[in-house]
């Protein structure tokens, strides 16, 4: 879908929980997506890992394509890979609606943001916990989303790093920062989501807090409750 449509859906859904499919049952992908629909989620988060930028492999373009065929929900594709610019067009054609890539993985973030804009979908920058937020300040005009990692990218199920939260106020107050959707990823659960929400975060990625629970709807409800929102019945 167009960048405008994706941003409209995401804005409307905030505060929104985005399930990270990393821990889902890929042998039953269709059923998993159906269950996530039934649980009231409005967008899905897909983690692409190349074994180089992060010490772990996950999946790539073919899984984005497969998920695209199973849902109309906006697909938020988080690229944890070197040279993301080489694959932006392919991920967009595969059905990504939003692409974030890591500032640490490129020499210059601007041409990558421009390449994403050219495809017509939404885009943004992701930062690992140790990366200074000032390195992306000049490119905020091209960012639709700012993704703060609250664990070091690479694996699900890690503990939340609270000190990253200050990055959000920095971006919100920077020139061009006020219209950006703020997203957090890593260690989000019912104990940590409230702190992130208090910092103005709009989009909360959650893996284990959903997929290690028996009932996705109940897991979604519990997370939404912590951010003062409720789940519309579908």
Q: Which residues are catalytic?
A: 47, 185
Please report, as residue ranges, which positions from 148 to 177 form the binding site for ligand DX5 (by CB under 6 A): 151, 153-158
Q: Which is nearer to ligand DX5, 66 or 174 (CB)?
A: 66
Cβ 178 to ligand DX5, closest distance in Å? 25
The interaxial angle of helices 61-70 and 29-38, nearest 10 deg, is: 50
Beta-strand pair 44-49/145-149: unpaired
Does the CA dihedral 22-24-27-29 come out positive or negative?
negative
Please report, as residue ranges, which positions from 189 to 208 form the binding site for ligand DX5 (by CB under 6 A): 205-208
Strands (E), 50-195: 75-80, 98-102, 122-127, 145-149, 181-185
* Cβ-proximal residue to Zn ion, closest one: 78
Please report, as residue ranges, which positions from 88 to 147 form the binding site for ligand DX5 (by CB under 6 A): none
Size of site (CB under 5 A) for Zn ion = 3
Q: Report residue 15 as tokens.
A: 């505060």
Single out the residue of 185, 202, 219, 222 in contact with Zn ion (rule: CB under 5 A).
185
Residue 131's DSSP bridge partners are: none
Q: Which residues bind ligand DX5 (CB under 6 A)?
A: 20, 22, 45, 47, 78, 151, 153-158, 185-188, 205-209
């Amino acid at each position: 879908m167009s960048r405008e449509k994706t941003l409209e859906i995401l804005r409307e859904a905030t505060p929104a929980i985005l399930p990270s499919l990393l821990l889902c049952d890929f042998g039953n992908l269709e059923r998993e997506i159906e269950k996530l629909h039934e649980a009231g989620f409005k967008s899905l988060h897909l983690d692409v890992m190349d074994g180089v930028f992060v010490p772990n492999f996950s999946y790539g373009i073919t899984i984005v394509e497969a998920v695209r065929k199973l849902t109309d929900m906006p697909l938020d594709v988080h690229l944890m890979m070197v040279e993301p610019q080489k694959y932006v067009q392919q991920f967009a054609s595969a059905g990504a609606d939003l692409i974030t890539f890591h500032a640490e993985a490129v020499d210059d973030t601007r041409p990558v943001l421009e390449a994403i804009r050219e495809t017509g979908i939404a885009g943004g920058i992701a930062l690992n916990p140790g990366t200074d937020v000032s390195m992306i300040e000049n490119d905020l005009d091209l960012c639709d989303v700012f993704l703060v990692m609250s664990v070091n990218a690479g694996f699900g199920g890690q503990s939340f790093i609270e000190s990253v939260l200050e990055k959000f106020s920095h971006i919100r107050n920077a020139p061009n920062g006020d219209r950006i959707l703020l997203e957090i990823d890593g260690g989000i659960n019912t104990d940590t989501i409230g702190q992130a929400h208090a910092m103005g975060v709009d989009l909360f990625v959650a893996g284990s807090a959903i997929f290690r629970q028996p009932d996705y709807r109940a897991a979604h409800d519990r997370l939404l409750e912590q951010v003062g929102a409720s789940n519309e019945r579908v």
